[in-house]
């Protein structure tokens, strides 16, 4: 008899422990007033920033916390409204991401623009410093571009720029980045390369461009070429500094015959 009582007590103890465990896993209840105060705090954070990345991050937090809440009966009754709010937040996120892409992209060539380059350079430079890796920075300038525009028209000149970017995207590694720096100048970022590898990559791009795209002058086919200056970023080096070194090397490439890539001085 005593053994039966002990077994019953053990079963009751296990049941109590199980119930407590379930309670500990449940998230706190929240009423509508607390919920809307929480949403307003996030809304205030969004109003205080103009950075699209930060807004998207805040929206992600709002979505995550909203979906994880255990609502009181009052809020639970408005569950459909909450779902509609989630859908609107998701839609807003998508629009912001699209807008961010448009703001950072050169609309004619599809390469990144100066603003996009600035953001990506910060990211890649931080990664390079964090992982003790190099970052190749290449400044490219199309050869004889003014003559192309003058003789064949600006529309043809635009097609040359577009083709350069298309060939670059096909030739470069997936981790490499192409940005239009201005006019017929482009910047290529080459993560985790040394000078020898960077020279090989840019030489391959020059050959592919000349092979794929050329212009007709009288009865002669003249390949499209570019000159380039290549700098390897030093630890902690600012964007303006490394691009300035690449620009000096580019000037040297132009002076010594064009259609070549020159390493920058460190």
Q: What residues act catalytically?
A: 184
Answer yes or no: are the C-beta atoms of 187 and 229 closer than 8 Å: no
> Nearest 5°: CA angle at 46, between 45 and 51?
115
Answer yes or no: are the C-beta atoms of 63 and 86 closer than 8 Å: yes
- Between the CA of residue 263 and those of 76, 132, 164, 177, 230, what are the distances in Å? 65, 21, 21, 19, 5
Structure tokens of 93? Answer: 């996120």
Torsion-angle region of 42 (φ positive above 0: left; ψ -120 to 50: alpha; else: beta): alpha
């Amino acid at each position: 008899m005593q053994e039966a009582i002990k077994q019953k007590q053990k079963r009751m103890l296990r049941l109590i422990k199980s119930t407590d465990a379930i309670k500990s896993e449940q998230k706190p209840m929240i009423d509508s007033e607390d919920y809307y105060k929480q949403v307003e705090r996030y809304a205030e954070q969004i109003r205080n920033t103009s950075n699209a990345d930060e807004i998207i991050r805040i929206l992600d937090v709002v979505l995550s916390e909203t979906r994880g809440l255990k609502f009181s009966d009052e809020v639970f009754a408005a569950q459909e409204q909450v779902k509609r709010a989630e859908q609107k937040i998701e839609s807003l996120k998508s629009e912001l991401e699209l807008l961010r892409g448009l703001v950072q992209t050169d609309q004619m060539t599809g390469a990144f623009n100066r603003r996009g380059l600035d953001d990506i350079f910060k990211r890649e430079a931080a990664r390079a410093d964090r992982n003790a890796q190099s970052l190749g920075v290449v400044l490219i300038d199309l050869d004889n571009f003014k003559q192309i525009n003058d003789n064949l028209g600006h529309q043809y000149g635009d097609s040359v720029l577009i083709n350069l970017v298309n060939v670059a995207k096909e030739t470069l590694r997936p981790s490499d980045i192409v940005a239009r720096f201005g006019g017929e100048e482009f910047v290529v970022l080459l993560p985790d390369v040394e000078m020898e590898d960077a020279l090989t990559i840019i030489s391959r791009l020059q050959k592919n461009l000349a092979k794929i795209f050329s212009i007709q002058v009288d009865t002669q086919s003249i390949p499209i070429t570019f000159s380039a200056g290549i700098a390897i970023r030093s630890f902690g080096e600012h964007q303006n500094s490394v691009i300035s070194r690449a620009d000096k090397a580019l000037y040297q490439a132009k002076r010594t015959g064009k259609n070549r890539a020159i390493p920058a001085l460190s």
